[in-house]
Chain A
Amino acid sequence: AQKITQTQPGMFVQEKEAVTLDCTYDTSDPSYGLFWYKQPSSGEMIFLIYQGSYDQQNATEGRYSLNFQKARKSANLVISASQLGDSAMYFCAMRGSSDKIIFGKGTRLHILP
């Protein structure tokens, strides 16, 4: 069975600092994908970044990077130079060979001015 764990219910970070949101996963599938989504207070789900299990390098998208440690089964999201607009709920998700995408419980990030 697949499982995603986000252990940080909430985080407070000073503006312009880097922030790491933790995500660990469990799967027996040899091939899988990992995703991060952002949900601002307006409610929409915004895709941020994707990492495939066979990708050799960590994924990056602008200020977002994914710290993928396969042996540890972790896929932490790193946001560099945080901004007030980064305040939101962040979800880690995984997709394995069964086609379904499952999500963690999320981390609420607060950026302080």
Chain B
Amino acid sequence: AQSVSQHNHHVILSEAASLELGCNYSYGGTVNLFWYVQYPGQHLQLLLKYFSGDPLVKGIKGFEAEFIKSKFSFNLRKPSVQWSDTAEYFCAVNTKAAGNKLTFGGGTRVLVKP
């Protein structure tokens, strides 16, 4: 069965700082990878996704993620964060073998100080 781990539970940084959130998955076959974001009081929204092709994926709001197959990683990055990026970020994976269900990491709470 696949699993997902996110290395940081909480991240605090100042506006304009760069952000990188780690995500590793365990599964030996083909995976689809996702980053979802949950802003305070709002529902989960998709930031970006990787199915195939270019391993560097660009999403909404200036976020990007890089799929490194050899490291089973899909880290999320943003060069310069804003206060409005304060949210909880979830990495998720699904596989054809396991059907369509998403397996989520534990989430990372990001607080951006103005």
| Mutual binders A and B | no
The residues of A with any CB-CB pair to B shorter than 8 Å are: none
